[in-house]
Structure 1
Amino acid sequence: MTENPSTARTIHQHPLAYLLGLEGVALMRAFAGEYDRAFTEARIAEVRELLDRADELGPGIDVPPLPVSDGYDGWASSYDGEDNGCFPMRDDVLLPMLDTLTPGRVLDAACGTGAVAQQLLERGHEVVGIDGSEAMLSRARSAVPGARFELGDLTALPLPDGSVDHVVCSLALTHLRDLSPFFTEAARVMRPGGHLLVLDTRGHFLGSSRYPLVKEAPDGRVGHIAGYHHGLGDYLRAALPLGFVVRACEETHLGDSIVGPGVEAAPLTPGPPNIWELHPWARDAANAAKAGQSAVVAWDFQLEETRPV
C-alpha cells in the first residue's frame, strides 16, 4: 500500500498558502449565497491582514515523500492517544455495521493497533488482522491477544482464496491511489454472501485528489505519506464489477465550527505546517470553508452468491 518511491515527489507546503486557500473557499461559498456582505468584506480584510503578517507565519517547507509503512511505524507509539476526530466518527458509523455481521472468520485489513479487531472479537468473531507496519502490529498483538496478526499488503492479502467470511477495512484505503486491487483481493479471500465493510476518510484539501499526511519515521525522517481523496463513484466502480452489491452507505460531516471561540492563534511549531495550528489564524474562514464537509464514509458491500462472469 506504499506509493512507488520512484513516482512519489517532494511537495511544497506554505502556511500562508493554506490560509489563503481557506479564505478563497469561504469567499466562493459567500459568492454562492451562503454568507452575506459583511462576511465577504471581513474575509477580504483578513486576506490583507494575513499578507501583512506573512513573516510571522514563516516560509514554505519542501516535504519529501515517506513510505506509508515508515510513517505508521513512527506514528504507532502515539496513534491511540491522539485526539483524532476520525475515531469517534469511525465508531459512530462502523460499529452498527459490525453488529449486523453473522459470526465467522473476519479479516481486519490494515488493522493498525487493533481497535476494530477488538470490537470484532467482542462480537464473537475469529479475527485475523493484517497491516503493513510492524510497529502497529506489535501494539495490536499486545492489545488484542485473542486475534492473529500478520504483516501484509492491502493489494496482496496473505490469505488463501475463500478463507474468510467477512472483511473489514478502516481508515486505510486513502493510501491507495487505485481502489480496484484491494476490492479484487477482498473478493478473492471472501466466501460468497459475506460482507466487506469499508470506512475511509474524505480528505482535508478541498478540490484536490490528494490527501498527504506529514509523519515522522522512527529514525527521525520527516515526510508526507501518500493519501488520496476518492469520490463515491470510485468505490462503486471498484466494487460492482466483482459481484459486490451495496447494502448500506453512511457519511458523517463536519459541523459548523471546527475552531471554537476560545481557541487563539499561537506561534507555529517549526517544520511542515500543521493545519490544525493554522486554523485559528483564520477562524471564520476555516469554519466557513469546512462547514458540512464530508469527513468519513462507510460502506457495507455484500459479495453475491453468484459472481459476474
Structure 2
Amino acid sequence: MEFDSFDSRGYRTVDVRTGYGQWVTTYEDTVQDEMDIAVLDDLTVPQWSRTTRALDLGCGTGRTGAWLRRHGVTSIDGVDLTPEMLAAARARGAHDTLLEGDVTDTALPDETYDLLIASLIDEHLTDLAPLYREAFRLATPGGLFALVGLHPHFIMASGMPTHFTTADGESIAISTTVHLISDHVTAALSAGWRLAELREAVVDDRWISLKPKWAKYRNHPVSAAYVFHKEK
C-alpha cells in the first residue's frame, strides 16, 4: 500500500541504501529498543539458545545480532544492503560473517539456517513475497523465521515514515511502504511458512516516557512481531 496517502510530514525521501548510509552515525541514538528488541523479548515460540545457525536479514549496525548473542545464539551471519551499516556491524563483532546484499536474493545456500530474523526492514520492501520466499529457501526443515516491524496501524495513524535528521537539521524520509498484517501472513503462507506466533505491542507508559509527544497514541499498536515455522 502506498505511503503517500498517509504522509503527514512531507519530508524529502531517499532510497534505502542512501538513507541508511547517511543515518548510520546516529541510528542507535534514535531507534529505541522498545520498537523491536522489547517485542522480540516477549516471543515464546523461538528457543533462541537452541539455534544452530542464524541469519540476520537486514542486520544494520548489528543490534539484533548482539541481542541474539545475549540470548545464547552462537553462530550468526548477517546480510545488509548498506556498506556503512555493515561497517558498523563489523566493528560491533556480533556476527560470524557479513554479506553485502539484497535480503530478497542473498545467493546463500539452500536450507542453511534454522533461524532467520529480520527487524525493522519490511516497510522498505514494496513487495513482501520475495522476502518470505527467500527466507523459506534458506531455512532448514523445522526452521523459524522471526520478523518484527512497525505496525501498519501506527504508520497510517501517525503519517510518519521511517526518517532521520541530518547534521544540518533536515528531516529525511527513507522510502516506506505500508504492509497490513494480512499482507505478511498471505505472503508467508504462499511461500510455504506456517504461522506459529503473532504479537502486537502498543504505545504504553514505557513508550511515553521515551517519547512524551506520543501520549496522543496511547494504546495504539506500534509494533508487530511474527514467527513462522517451516515444517519438516
Q: TM over 0.5, yes or no?
A: yes
User: CA–CA distance in 2 between the matches of 1:227 and 1:304?
Assistant: 32
| Structure with larger Rg | 1
Considering fraction of residues, name the structure with more strand. Answer: 2
Q: Quote the residue 1:48 is aligned against.
A: none
Identity, % of aligned pairs?
Answer: 25
1:100 equivalent to 2:100? Answer no
- Measured after TM superposition, the shift of residue 115 of structure 1 is 1.5
User: CA–CA distance in 1 between the matches of 2:195 and 2:4?
Assistant: 38
Q: Quote the residue 2:110 is aligned against.
A: 161
Q: Quote the residue 2:99 is aligned against.
A: 150
Pairwise mapping of residues 105-254 of structure 1 onto structure 2 (< 5 A)?
105-122=53-70, 123-144=72-93, 146-203=95-152, 204-206=154-156, 212-215=161-164, 223-254=172-203
Pairwise mapping of residues 53-64 of structure 1 onto structure 2 (< 5 A)?
63-64=11-12
The AA in structure 2 aligned to 1:147 is D
1:301 is matched with which residue: 210, 228, 231? 228
Tell me: CA distance 1:215–1:158, structure 2 relative to 1, closer, same or farther (3 Å).
Answer: farther
Tell me: CA distance 1:259–1:172, structure 2 relative to 1, closer, same or farther (3 Å).
Answer: same
Provide the secondary structure at the position in 2 that maps to 1:251.
Answer: strand
The AA in structure 2 aligned to 1:173 is D
1:196 and 1:302 in contact (8 A); partners too: yes
Tell me: CA distance 1:12–1:186, structure 2 relative to 1, closer, same or farther (3 Å).
Answer: closer
The AA in structure 2 aligned to 1:159 is L
Q: Which moved more, 1:186-195 or 1:119-128?
A: 119-128
Which 5+ residue runs of structure 2 have no aligned equivalent? Answer: none
User: CA–CA distance in 2 between the matches of 1:199 and 1:212?
Assistant: 16
Provide the secondary structure at the position in 1 that maps to 2:110.
Answer: coil
1:69 and 1:133 in contact (8 A); partners too: yes
1:90 equivalent to 2:17? Answer no
User: CA–CA distance in 2 between the matches of 1:202 and 1:68?
Assistant: 19
Q: Quote the residue 1:77 is aligned against.
A: 25
Tell me: CA distance 1:257–1:96, structure 2 relative to 1, closer, same or farther (3 Å).
Answer: closer
Tell me: CA distance 1:194–1:77, structure 2 relative to 1, closer, same or farther (3 Å).
Answer: same
- Higher RCO (CA < 8 A, seq sep 6+): 2
User: CA–CA distance in 1 between the matches of 2:95 and 2:174?
Assistant: 31
- Measured after TM superposition, the shift of residue 228 of structure 1 is 2.2
2:37 and 2:64 in contact (8 A); partners too: no
- Measured after TM superposition, the shift of residue 213 of structure 1 is 2.7
